[in-house]
Amino acid sequence: MLRYARIWLASIRYSLVRAMMFRGDFLMWALVEFFWMSVNVLLVGIIYSHTDSIAGWSQYEMLLLVGTTLLVQRLLMAFFWSNLFEMGRNVRSGHFDFFLAQPGSPLFMVSTRKFDLDGFVNVPVALAIVVYAARQLGLEPSVGQLAAYALFILCGLALHYATLLAIISMVFWLQSAKGIEGGYFGLTEFSRLPREALRGVANVVFVYLLPVIIVSNVPARVLIHGFEPVYAAWMVGATLLWLFIAIRIFHAGLRRYASASS
């Protein structure tokens, strides 16, 4: 584990140096993400200027939910987003051979090669939104609630990683991941919605089949309503299940991979 930790830290250090070499590009994308987050926050204010509640959620409860969603998304963008989508392109081009030749787990290598600083610098902004919303609600979470919130944020990050890995790993069979990036980013937008707002087929698809809702709803609920054992068990169980499924799909694809390089 220490060896892999050193490899990951070396990859992060390389990514930071590279980001500083192209400061203009880094600043542009950091600002793009900041303005996109601002639009999400402003949208909440506009919607709640016409209503007092959506699916039982008040304005600042919804803002806390949106802030939690943005926090998980920023962490996903920083640590895994580029890596997994590059995996799809590398499998198609044959550059995936480079990862197989390295002295380590191929899954670890493809998941951690890059670190996107432009996504990570907006993590404090997402945290500030959560803190502001919690103060407006008059919340005073205990140390246990804060620990549970942090754990569920990590579970949400792992859920997004696992779901994305499972989908991208289909490139071993389909030979193309074109369109998946935009499609999956669209799916993550559903995590801004309260679970109570979904009914029928949408509830089945986005809560149970593709758990994009619980990645933000469960952490937000632990700050608003306190620790709920049923939701905690659901979150941890879904995370472990999706990680198991994603890893199995990746290794199944790895067994049938044939180099496409020249």
Q: What is the pLDDT of residues 115-152, one digit of tens each?
A: 888 888 899 999 999 999 999 999 989 999 999 999 99
pLDDT in tens, 20-59: 887 777 788 888 888 888 888 898 889 998 888 888 889 9
261 lies in some domain: no
Answer yes or no: is pLDDT of 262 > 80: no
Q: What is the pTM of this model?
A: 0.88
DSSP structural state of residue 23: H
DSSP structural state of residue 208: I
236 touches 155 (CB < 8 A): yes
Q: Which domain holds residue 64?
A: 2-255
260 lies in some domain: no
- Helix/strand/coil for 131: helix
Pair of tokens at residue 256: 């049938």
215 lies in some domain: yes
Give the CA distances from residue 143 to residues 72, 130, 139, 146, 226, in Å, rounded to whole numbers and listed in that order: 20, 16, 13, 5, 11
140 lies in some domain: yes
26 lies in some domain: yes
pLDDT score for 255: 86
100 lies in some domain: yes
262 lies in some domain: no
| Most confident residue range from 14-18, 158-162, 198-202 | 158-162
More confident residue, 223 or 33: 223
The number of domains in the chain is: 1
DSSP structural state of residue 193: S
- Helix/strand/coil for 248: helix
Please provide the distance, in angstroms rounded to a whole number, between the alpha carbons at the two ends of the chain. 35
115 touches 79 (CB < 8 A): yes
- Distance separating alpha carbons of residues 41 and 133, to the nearest angstrom: 11
pLDDT in tens, 58-113: 999 999 999 999 999 999 989 998 888 888 788 877 788 888 887 778 899 888 88
56 lies in some domain: yes
pLDDT score for 6: 87
